[in-house]
């Protein structure tokens, strides 16, 4: 239960300010481990016949995943300026 | 021929109508028993079975087994049963009863050999699903309006479908439900009718508008049947219709963008339905055996993990009474079971290795590669990352983590927890033993999902998508907003126009209404003149079929009387 006494200690460790840095470090460590196989393996190209080799290039999936998601978040943000309305917009 | 075999959907439809008359104790058994019986019946039907009915000059077949239909019917029956377990303690009888009729008619569609009985089941589905939303009117004052808008969209879809079927029968003389080409008026109308139920543009808004207004269990039922029956219909009716690639691709990205903008947790998941159905529609548009297998398998897996996600969200709604991300957060501390199951559903929808999404959705991307469609492939891969973004992380993060909302509700009752565990088990079971689902697909499949390359690249894609989420978290701060959609045209513009005319030029109203009436009367008179005494409706009917229809009408009236809202 969230009591008012010593709020920082009452919090779950995920929410403590001091652990925020650790969580980011863990995330970067996981990303690094995910990239490691790129040093050893080659991906097979799905579109050799069309002359496209992009999907077989090193770290393609990593940067493509990041870049397209960043684009979608930014795209949604921009569209939001046009499309967002108060959530009682349709109420009478 | 086995005389014990009856159309599986009928068991659920009749079972649903029987439910209100059972004692509460018996009802609990029946709610699990009928879906189980249906599931068994689905697997007892063989291709030799048929149940022929005569209607006008046509022969209908409501017991027509296809391998595609069997996959869909199997997962529909499973969803009805597990959904009923989830609903058992809290759902109103009307909701459960309507949900069974709805599920039964969806199964009915998957066993139709002809377009006429297909249409009948299709329309019963619309009524059943509307009643599921309607059943929540006393809890949620928005439910009534949403259910009526939902019904209007589906009646419109039904009319378009009926026009298509009538024209198709007039053209070809055949009522058989078989693969078509959308190259003439009739088949194009049929395809539009199917697509409206799939949530295709410009009618995508109804899913996020209506589904989240139902009760926690109601939304679970709704998520499973309508859109996936439409996927089945497109799969059987229009495989390889290339326009579907574009339609599906729009749905994929529409779902992601709107889910990213959304604040209501169940609306996030509703937009995600459009996104996932978009993948299936793209695959149907590609139309190769691998693609059609992919759409079928993905539909099966999606029904289960989306049901699981909505069960998790429904549990949060039930226990907190809150549905907006801005009000939620930190719930993993007191609702661990709900959080764990929600996360398993989120991992499955994101196609993380060892889950059902990984072994099914990858069939569709592979099909794009195999078919030599690079742009489709690159967009589907981006969309797979986007799925992780909007459903895989966004839903669990904002509901169970983010800021601590201070809410400390307990986990939901045992029946809901059990239903979620069963669904999670299925998500992981299919992920680990994909042969279960690969073995029942329409075409033989030689596909190895677990190659080092596939696992590594998928993990890289998802982890970096997740990194993008946390790096850009500031841009996704939740706001108390909804997002405008194309339904604005009929909810605001047309409505406003009529109000404006009424207030400013009221003298216009009367002539317009009279004009409409006269127009209708003229058409009707013509109809009577041309088709009246010698027309199709004036022929002598066997009295047996008349008695049957009177009985059906009486039954419907009795049910409606019983189900009127309190």
The tens digit of pLDDT for each residue in B325-345 reads 999 999 999 999 999 999 999
- Which B-chain residues 299-328 have CB contacts (< 8 A) with chain A? 324
Pairing mode, strands B481-483 and A84-86: antiparallel
The tens digit of pLDDT for each residue in B104-142 reads 999 999 999 999 999 999 999 999 999 999 999 988 989
SS3 of residue A47 by DSSP: strand
Contact status of A83 with chain B (Cβ, < 8 Å): yes
Please report the pLDDT score of residue A2 as a whole number: 43
The whole-angstrom separation of Cα B36 and Cα B25 is 17
The tens digit of pLDDT for each residue in B189-218 reads 999 999 999 999 999 999 999 999 999 999
pLDDT at position B74 over 50: yes
Token readout for B517 is 């009436």
Indicate the domain borders of chain A.
1-41, 43-86
Residue with tokens 């996104």: B275
Give Cβ neighbours of residue B281 (< 8 Å, ≥ 6 apart).
B198, B200, B231, B234, B244, B247, B248, B251, B295
Q: How many CB atoms lie within 10 A of CB B73?
A: 28
Instruction: Tell me which residue in B453, B468, B483 faces A66 most closely, judged by beta carbons.
Output: B468
SS3 of residue A87 by DSSP: coil
Instruction: Tell me which residue in A15, A73, A79 faces B468 most closely, judged by beta carbons.
Output: A73
Mutation target to probe the A interface, by most A beta carbons within 10 A, among B141, B335, B463 is B463
A23-36 burial, b at 16+ Cβ within 10 Å, e below that, comes to eeeeeeeebeebbe
The whole-angstrom separation of Cα B558 and Cα B523 is 33
The whole-angstrom separation of Cα B229 and Cα B429 is 24
DSSP tag of B409: P
DSSP tag of A56: G
Please report the pLDDT score of residue B1 as a whole number: 47
Token readout for A25 is 């470090």
Is residue B211 domain-resident?
Answer: yes
The whole-angstrom separation of Cα B106 and Cα B13 is 10
The tens digit of pLDDT for each residue in B363-413 reads 999 999 999 999 999 999 999 999 999 999 999 999 999 888 888 999 999
| Better-predicted residue by pLDDT, B3 or B272 | B272
**Residues of A with Cβ-Cβ distance to B362 under 8 angstroms:** none
Contact status of B369 with chain A (Cβ, < 8 Å): yes
Query: Which ipTM did the prediction report?
Result: 0.89
Q: Of the candidates B61, B66, B157, B71, which has an alpha carbon nearest to the alpha carbon of residue B116?
A: B61
Contact status of A27 with chain B (Cβ, < 8 Å): yes
Token readout for A59 is 């770290």
Q: What's the structural domain count of chain B?
A: 1
Please report the pLDDT score of residue B566 as a whole number: 52
The tens digit of pLDDT for each residue in B492-501 reads 898 888 888 8
SS3 of residue B176 by DSSP: strand
DSSP tag of A5: S
The whole-angstrom separation of Cα B74 and Cα B86 is 18
Q: What DSSP string describes B234-283?
A: HHHH-TT-THHHHHHHHHHHHHHHHHHH--BHHHHHHHHHHHHHHHHHHH
| A79 to B257: CB separation less than 8 angstroms, yes or no | yes
| Better-predicted residue by pLDDT, B134 or B4 | B134
- Closest-CA distance, B408 to chain A, in angstroms, reads 7
**Residues of B with Cβ-Cβ distance to A41 under 8 angstroms:** 452-453, 456
Is residue B17 domain-resident?
Answer: no
Give the phi and the psi of residue B241 in degrees, each rounded to 5.
Answer: -80, 105
Please report the pLDDT score of residue B508 as a whole number: 82
> What rounded mean pLDDT belongs to chain B?
92
- The sign of the dihedral angle between the CA atoms of B275, B281, B286, B292 is positive
pLDDT at position B505 over 90: no
Is residue B197 domain-resident?
Answer: yes
B258 to chain A: nearest residue by CA? A76
Mutation target to probe the B interface, by most B beta carbons within 10 A, among A20, A21, A69 is A69
Instruction: Tell me which residue in A30, A50, A65 faces B465 most closely, judged by beta carbons.
Output: A65
Please report the pLDDT score of residue B541 as a whole number: 59
Q: How many CB atoms lie within 10 A of CB B407?
A: 19
* Mean pLDDT value of segment B418-433: 97
Contact status of B475 with chain A (Cβ, < 8 Å): yes
The whole-angstrom separation of Cα B531 and Cα B534 is 6
The tens digit of pLDDT for each residue in A15-66 reads 888 888 899 999 999 999 999 998 888 888 888 888 888 888 888 999 999 9
pLDDT at position B2 over 90: no
Is residue B322 domain-resident?
Answer: yes
- Closest-CA distance, B266 to chain A, in angstroms, reads 14
* Mean pLDDT value of segment B341-369: 96
| B386 to A68: CB separation less than 8 angstroms, yes or no | yes
The tens digit of pLDDT for each residue in A80-91 reads 999 999 988 888
**Residues of A with Cβ-Cβ distance to B212 under 8 angstroms:** none
Give the phi and the psi of residue B556 in degrees, each rounded to 5.
Answer: -65, -45
The whole-angstrom separation of Cα B348 and Cα A62 is 20
| A73 to B256: CB separation less than 8 angstroms, yes or no | no
Report yes or no: B68 and B91 within 8 Å, Cβ to Cβ: no
DSSP tag of B507: G
Contact status of B377 with chain A (Cβ, < 8 Å): yes
| B481 to A66: CB separation less than 8 angstroms, yes or no | no
B263 to chain A: nearest residue by CA? A87
Report yes or no: B328 and B399 within 8 Å, Cβ to Cβ: yes
* CB contacts < 8 A (A, B): 148
Is residue B134 domain-resident?
Answer: no
The whole-angstrom separation of Cα B182 and Cα B194 is 12
pLDDT at position B534 over 60: no
**Residues of B with Cβ-Cβ distance to A84 under 8 angstroms:** 261, 479, 481-484
- Closest-CA distance, A78 to chain B, in angstroms, reads 10
Residue with tokens 């079929």: B545
The whole-angstrom separation of Cα B526 and Cα B538 is 15
Residue with tokens 């009646």: B155
Owning domain of residue B415 = 143-482
pLDDT at position B447 over 70: yes
DSSP tag of B52: E
Please report the pLDDT score of residue B540 as a whole number: 57
B515 burial type by CB count under 10 A (0-12 exposed, 13-18 middle, 19+ buried) = exposed
Confidence at B550, pLDDT banded by 50, 70, 90 = confident
Report yes or no: B307 and B224 within 8 Å, Cβ to Cβ: yes
Q: Residue B241: how many CA atoms within 13 Å on its side-chain side?
A: 23
* Mean pLDDT value of segment B137-155: 92
pLDDT at position B278 over 70: yes
**Residues of A with Cβ-Cβ distance to B404 under 8 angstroms:** 2, 11-12, 15
Is residue B195 domain-resident?
Answer: yes
Report yes or no: B35 and B84 within 8 Å, Cβ to Cβ: yes
Please report the pLDDT score of residue A3 as a whole number: 44
């Amino acid at each position: 239960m969230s009591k008012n006494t010593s709020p920082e200690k009452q919090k779950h460790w995920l929410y403590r300010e001091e652990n925020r840095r650790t969580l980011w470090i863990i995330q970067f460590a996981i990303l690094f481990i995910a990239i490691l196989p790129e040093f050893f393996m080659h991906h097979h190209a799905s579109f050799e016949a069309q002359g496209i080799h992009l999907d077989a290039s090193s770290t393609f999936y990593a940067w493509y995943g990041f870049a397209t998601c960043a684009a979608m978040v930014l795209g949604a943000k921009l569209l939001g300026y046009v499309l967002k309305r108060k959530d009682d917009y349709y109420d009478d | 021929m086995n005389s014990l075999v009856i159309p599986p959907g009928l068991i659920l439809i009749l079972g649903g109508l029987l439910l209100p008359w059972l004692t509460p104790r018996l009802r609990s058994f029946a709610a699990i028993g009928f879906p189980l019986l249906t599931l068994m019946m689905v697997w007892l039907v063989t291709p030799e079975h048929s149940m022929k009915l005569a209607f006008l000059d046509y022969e209908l077949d409501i017991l027509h087994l296809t391998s595609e239909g069997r996959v869909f019917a199997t997962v529909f029956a499973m969803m009805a049963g597990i959904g009923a377990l989830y609903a058992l303690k809290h759902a109103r009888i009307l909701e459960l009863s309507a949900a069974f009729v709805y599920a039964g008619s969806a199964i009915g569609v998957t066993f139709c050999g002809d377009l006429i009985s297909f249409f009948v089941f299709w329309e019963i589905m619309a009524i059943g699903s509307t009643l599921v939303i309607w059943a929540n009117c006393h809890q949620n004052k928005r439910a009534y309006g949403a259910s009526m808008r939902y019904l209007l969209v589906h009646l419109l879809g039904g009319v378009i479908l009926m026009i298509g079927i009538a024209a198709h029968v007039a053209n070809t003389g055949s009522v058989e439900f078989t693969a078509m080409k959308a190259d003439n008026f009739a088949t194009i109308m049929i395809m539009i009718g199917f697509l409206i139920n799939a949530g295709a543009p410009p009618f995508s808004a109804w899913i996020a508008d209506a589904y989240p207004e139902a009760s926690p269990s109601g939304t679970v039922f709704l998520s499973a049947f309508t859109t996936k029956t439409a996927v089945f219909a497109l799969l059987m009716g229009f495989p390889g219709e290339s326009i579907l690639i574009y339609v599906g691709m729009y749905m994929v990205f529409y779902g992601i963008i709107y889910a990213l903008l959304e604040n209501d947790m169940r609306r996030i998941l509703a937009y995600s339905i459009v996104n996932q159905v978009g993948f299936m529609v793209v695959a149907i548009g590609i139309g190769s055996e691998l693609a059609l297998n992919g759409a079928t398998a993905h539909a099966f897996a999606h029904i289960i993990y989306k049901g699981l996600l909505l069960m998790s969200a429904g549990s949060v709604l039930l226990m907190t009474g809150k549905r907006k991300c801005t009000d939620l957060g930190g719930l993993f501390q007191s609702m661990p079971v709900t959080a764990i199951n929600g996360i398993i559903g989120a991992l499955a929808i994101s196609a993380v290795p060892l889950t059902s999404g990984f072994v099914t959705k990858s069939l569709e991307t592979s099909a794009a590669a195999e078919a030599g469609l690079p742009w489709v492939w690159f967009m589907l891969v981006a969309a797979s990352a986007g799925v992780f973004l909007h459903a895989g992380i966004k839903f669990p993060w904002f509901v169970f983590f983010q800021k601590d909302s201070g809410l400390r509700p307990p986990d939901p009752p045992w029946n809901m927890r059990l239903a979620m565990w069963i669904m999670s088990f299925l998500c992981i079971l299919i992920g680990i033993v994909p042969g279960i689902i690969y073995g029942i697909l329409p075409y033989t499949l030689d596909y190895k999902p677990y190659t080092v390359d596939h696992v590594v690249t998928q993990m890289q894609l998802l982890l970096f998508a997740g990194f993008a989420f946390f790096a850009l978290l500031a841009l996704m701060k939740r706001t108390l907003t909804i997002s405008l959609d194309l339904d604005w045209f009929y909810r605001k513009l047309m409505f406003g126009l009529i109000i404006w005319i009424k207030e400013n030029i009221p003298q216009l109203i009367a002539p317009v209404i009279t004009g409409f009436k006269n127009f209708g009367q003229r058409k009707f008179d013509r109809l009577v003149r041309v088709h009246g005494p010698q027309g199709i409706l004036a022929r002598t009917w066997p009295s047996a079929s008349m008695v049957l229809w009177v009985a059906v009408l009486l039954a419907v009236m009795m049910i409606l009387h019983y189900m009127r809202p309190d």
